A and B are shown apart, each in its own frame.
Chain A
């Protein structure tokens, strides 16, 4: 069965860095687009970034462009999110999600990890 397991969250000071990982299993990872989504405490969902299966196509939300970098290691079935210059407003639970494309190429996020909490505070 499909499993996505995030790790790497924790407490970091403003201006600091953190690298999140998402270990994938149960599907052909290298064929799948993957996304990162976050949720600040008590707030809604915010899409951050996606990466194509090959790693060639990457997009970011404006809120993280220039500070966050998405990458993947298909040999290790692992997705990453390098987060630099962290701010208090980056405090959130970070989820990785697998993207699914249907016959009409309409995408959805069909599997999600359990999330990892990032707290940015001095």
Chain B
């Protein structure tokens, strides 16, 4: 199975900050990498697919980059509604594994 490791597991940031979350795959997955946002009590929401494709309706402050084993999710100019937990996921192979999540909290 491909293991997905996110860092950090949690972070505290202020409104307006730039936040970077990294995701590392245990083997090369090309661009088969997605990012999801989950708020408490809600279902995950797809933010970015194929490593860097921003989904319709997602604010342009979100961006993704990377390929093969190393990926990043960047939130520029953190907004109050961005406080949530973020997950990466690989769909290169079965099982479709998720990272353990990164919780973004208010500083």
Which residues of chain B are near A37, meaning CB under 8 Å? 44
Is B65 an interface position by the 8 A CB rule?
A: no
0/1 per residue, A95-122, Cβ < 8 Å to B?
Answer: 1000010101011111011110000000
Q: How many residues of chain B get a CB closer than 8 Å to chain A's CBs?
A: 26
CB-CB under 8 A for A95 and B43, given A108-B50, A109-B34 = yes
Chain B facing A: main interface SS: loop
Contact of A45 among B32, B55, B94, B98 (CB under 8 A): B98
Chain A facing B: main interface SS: strand
Is A35 an interface position by the 8 A CB rule?
A: yes
Determine the residue in chain B with the shortest Cβ distance to A101: B91
Chain A: minimal CB distance from B4 (Å): 10
Determine the residue in chain A with the shortest Cβ distance to B31: A106
The answer to whether A61 touches B95, judged by C-beta atoms less than 8 angstroms apart, is yes
Which residues of chain B are near A59, meaning CB under 8 Å? 94-95
Which residues of chain A are near B100, meaning CB under 8 Å? 44
Q: Which of B32, B42, B91, B101 has the most CB of A within 10 A?
A: B91
Q: How extensive is the interface on chain A, given as a class?
A: 20 to 34
Interface residues of B in 28-50 (CB under 8 A from A): 31-32, 34, 36, 38, 42-46, 49-50
Chain A: minimal CB distance from B91 (Å): 4
The answer to whether A47 touches B34, judged by C-beta atoms less than 8 angstroms apart, is no
Taking A104-B50, A108-B89, A109-B89 as given, write out 10 further A-B residue pairs in contact, using a Cβ cutoff of 8 Å, ordered by the A residue number.
Answer: A44-B101, A45-B38, A95-B43, A102-B49, A106-B32, A106-B91, A108-B50, A109-B36, A113-B43, A114-B42
Q: A residues near B, CB below 8 A?
A: 35, 37, 44-47, 50, 59, 61-62, 95, 100, 102, 104, 106-110, 112-115
Q: B residues near A, CB below 8 A?
A: 1, 31-32, 34, 36, 38, 42-46, 49-50, 53, 55, 87, 89, 91, 94-101
